[in-house]
Amino acid sequence: MLIGLDFFNSTIINASSNWVYNGSLTVLDGQDSGFLTQNGVDSLLSTSFEGVSQAKNQVISTYISDVINITPTLSAMASVRIDRFSGLTNYWSTDEVESQVTVSPKFGLVYQPMKDKIALFGNYMNGFINQAPVQVADVNGQNVRMKSLEPEQANQYEFGVKTAIWKEKIALTASYYSILVNNKVMADPTNINDVIQGGQVNSKGIEVSLIANPIRGLNVVAGYSFNQAEVTADDPANGYLGLRPEEAGPSQLGNFWLQYTLPSTKLKGIGIGFGGNHASEQLTLNRLVTGKFTLPAYTIFNAALSYNTKSYDLILKCNNLLNKRYYSGWSTITPQQLRAISLSFNYKF
């Protein structure tokens, strides 16, 4: 049995300028109507003074968890976590005190039809993310204040199988999950300076992972995941309803790494590795009000040459072997590193 207690306290001080509109950038022709100079930005910000605001946030948590071995091949786990959130949206006043209690249970079952060989598992988990107070204002930028938010809640179901076969040289795990996130923070379509809650996102998919040592000196690690995600509740004016969330990333991810180290002979300790990562296309922008912007799918390969002894390790590694140009981002376009070669030396005391 595990029993714990957490305490967290923070004070948020805001003395920044307000958000201001600084023109538009057209991706197709590169036209920019903003004032991208220091004088231009200073002029826009000169009338955006919003004063100083502070907010206080406090979290007290307790949790308990236990695993019960019902039979040698059947075990159950149950846990619960209780959090109390409290705070002041205005540090100098007690007029607006926000507090709430969140309870998060978790349950799981594991059954082994072949003990230490095959295990079937299922679990339910409730989770949450505490939302720190945010700065909001009226639509005209006046009445700047800190606003307390309720935690986002998530409910997850997962079912799968784990195996350790062929003299425990192959470990395979496959699972299916479904996650429903409630009370997400959304932009207020009637006030650009405010936020509201009540958004909902449904995410489901499969994950498969493999770890194998089929022969002496050879290690194999591989994984694959497929995810479907959809915004199922939002204000239609925001343009996200029914679409894949931008933060969901690529729907498919895959990776593998093969490492062979000579186990004997005079060349003992020399190893060679080869692997790669794959990601399907990603909708870094996906809104009805602005349209879609897709980052292309990519596959990159990596390789390594190493020499390991009892006293030291020498590793020569090349990432992005083929010098592939690829991008990531969340409503952004972020170039990733091209071919990179590194040499490392580790000495063991």
- Summarised one tens digit per residue, pLDDT across range 32-69 is 888 778 888 888 888 776 667 677 778 899 999 999 99
Rg (CA), the chain: 26
Is the residue at 63 inside a domain?
Answer: no
Is the residue at 233 inside a domain?
Answer: yes
Residues 6+ apart with CB under 8 A from 42: none
> Which of 58, 106, 57, 103 lies closest to 82, judged by CA?
103
Residues 6+ apart with CB under 8 A from 70: 76
**Total-model pTM:** 0.78
Q: What is the C-alpha to C-alpha distance for residues 185 and 112, in angstroms, rounded to an integer?
A: 41
Is the residue at 23 inside a domain?
Answer: no
- Cβ(133)–Cβ(148) under 8 Å? yes
- Report pLDDT for 274: 97
Mean pLDDT score of the chain: 88
- What is the tally of structural domains in the chain? 1
Q: What is the C-alpha to C-alpha distance for residues 161 and 114, in angstroms, rounded to an integer?
A: 12
Q: What is the C-alpha to C-alpha distance for residues 142 and 48, in angstroms, rounded to an integer?
A: 9
CATH code, domain carrying 202:
2.40.170.20
- Cβ(346)–Cβ(307) under 8 Å? no
Is the residue at 194 inside a domain?
Answer: yes
Q: Highest mean pLDDT range out of 16-25, 132-141, 329-338?
A: 329-338
Is the residue at 268 inside a domain?
Answer: yes
- Taking residues 19-30, report their average pLDDT: 78
- Whether 246 has a pLDDT exceeding 60, the answer reads yes
> Per DSSP, what are the bridge partners of residue 294?
283
Residues 6+ apart with CB under 8 A from 168: none
Is the residue at 50 inside a domain?
Answer: no
- Report pLDDT for 98: 60
Q: What is the C-alpha to C-alpha distance for residues 183 and 126, in angstroms, rounded to an integer?
A: 13
- Report pLDDT for 343: 96
Is the residue at 99 inside a domain?
Answer: yes
Which long-range contacts (C-beta less than 8 Å, at least 24 apart) are formed by 185-188? Answer: 185/131, 185/134, 185/149, 185/152, 186/234, 186/235, 186/238, 187/238
- Summarised one tens digit per residue, pLDDT across range 285-321 is 999 988 899 999 999 999 999 998 888 999 999 999 9
- Cβ(42)–Cβ(91) under 8 Å? no
- Taking residues 328-339, report their average pLDDT: 90
Q: What is the C-alpha to C-alpha distance for residues 164 and 172, in angstroms, rounded to an integer?
A: 7
Question: Which structural domain range is residue 281 located in?
Answer: 69-347
Is the residue at 12 inside a domain?
Answer: no
- Whole-number percent of the chain with pLDDT over 90: 56
